Amino acid sequence: MAKIKNIIGQKFGRLTAIELLDKGKRGYHYLFACDCGNTKELCGSLVRTGKTLSCGCLRSEVVAKKNFVHGLVHTGAYQSWMAMKTRCTNPNQASYKRYGGRGIGFDASWESFENFVADMGERPIGMTLERIDNSKGYSKSNCKWATTAEQSRNTRQNVMITHNGKTMCMTDWAKETGIPYPTIQDRVKRNWSAEQILGA
């Protein structure tokens, strides 16, 4: 018969053995007092080998801490943050070549979602994360929440036309002048002057 290891009074992790109980299927069970104030009956060998470190409070704390961050997984800010990281760091992502592939990265502090959301706040409904200067990376000073229409006006592919002291993209000029967008686009491709492009 195996000799019972006397661990009464000994502490393992957050648990202190206070009473020997009956032998269970896995060995001798003890009543343990946990640092959190709870008591729990546990297998002595599991506690001694470090497989059990608390009454369960330690795991709860870890899960709670994880959920504090990842409870925001379904928020707009979290989704924008993940999309930003993916297109800047994952070569297998379709848009990587337009971001990470051409040197666009993000502020080192934004590796942490907590820092990102502290800087940007929650994403307003209907808005997306936009870089103010498309030649620079993602950072607090170079990012804002923008509507889809605003962001579409700020793409590298968009052409800005200056006419009579006003600078707007082709879409806005089409709305202002009534000239169909395809017509303006065709004139731009032909390298017409602003006066020619926006003429009747």
Question: What's the total number of domains in the chain?
Answer: 3
Please, are residues 143 and 133 in contact by the beta-carbon 8 Å criterion? no
Q: Which of 55-64, 80-89, 134-143 has the lowest mean pLDDT?
A: 55-64
Please, are residues 16 and 30 in contact by the beta-carbon 8 Å criterion? no
The residues pairing with 148 across neighbouring beta strands, listed in sequence order, are none
Asked whether residue 6 is assigned to any structural domain, the reply reads no
Same domain? For 89 and 31 the reply is: no
C-alpha closest to that of 76 among 131, 113, 115: 113
Average pLDDT over residues 141-154: 74
Same domain? For 141 and 78 the reply is: yes
The residues pairing with 12 across neighbouring beta strands, listed in sequence order, are 15
Asked whether residue 5 is assigned to any structural domain, the reply reads no
What are the distances in angstroms from CA 131 to CA 124, 184, 188? 16, 26, 25
pLDDT tens digits, 92-116:
887 888 889 989 999 999 998 889 9
Same domain? For 61 and 79 the reply is: no
Question: In terms of pTM, does the model score above 0.75?
Answer: no
Mean pLDDT of all residues belonging to the chain: 82
Domain termination site, one of 47, 66, 85 = 66
Same domain? For 94 and 146 the reply is: yes
pLDDT of residue 155: 57
